[in-house]
Amino acid sequence: LEERKLFPCIPELQMLDLSHNRLKYLTDEVLSSLRRLRNISFSDNHISQMSPYALIGLQRLQFIDLSNNKLSEFHP
């Protein structure tokens, strides 16, 4: 499954909980179709890398939870 096709049918989604999924990294494409997203949780994964462009286009984003991951840097 290609990342840009993960959420093609739910562009109105406002809240997303991806906690406890063993995710390792976030790329540019994974959230690109979710323009109305306001809250997202990536807590309790294994995320060690996050693209500096992973949140581009998410102007409505108000809350992001990256707790309990392995990130050493975060560039908002």
Per-residue pLDDT reduced to its tens digit, 47-75:
999 988 888 889 999 999 999 999 987 66
> What is the predicted pLDDT for the residue at 75?
66
Asked whether residue 61 is assigned to any structural domain, the reply reads yes
Position 1 scores a pLDDT of 33
For residue 1, is it within any domain? no
pLDDT at 30: 81
Spell out the long-range contacts of 67-74 with Cβ–Cβ below 8 A and sequence spacing 24 or more.
Answer: 67/43, 68/43, 68/44, 69/42, 69/43, 69/44, 69/45, 70/46, 71/47, 72/48, 74/50
Q: Is the pLDDT of residue 6 over 70?
A: no
Structural contact between residues 45 and 21, judged by C-beta atoms closer than 8 angstroms: yes
Range of the domain at 33: 12-75
CB 42 within 8 A of CB 19: yes
Looking at residue 48, its pLDDT comes to 94
Q: Is residue 4 part of a domain?
A: no
> Is residue 6 included in any domain, yes or no?
no
**Do 47 and 26 meet the contact criterion of CB atoms below 8 Å apart?**
yes
Taken as a whole, the chain contains a residue count of: 76
In the chain, how many domains are there?
A: 1
Q: Is residue 63 part of a domain?
A: yes
pTM: 0.82
In a domain, 60, yes or no: yes
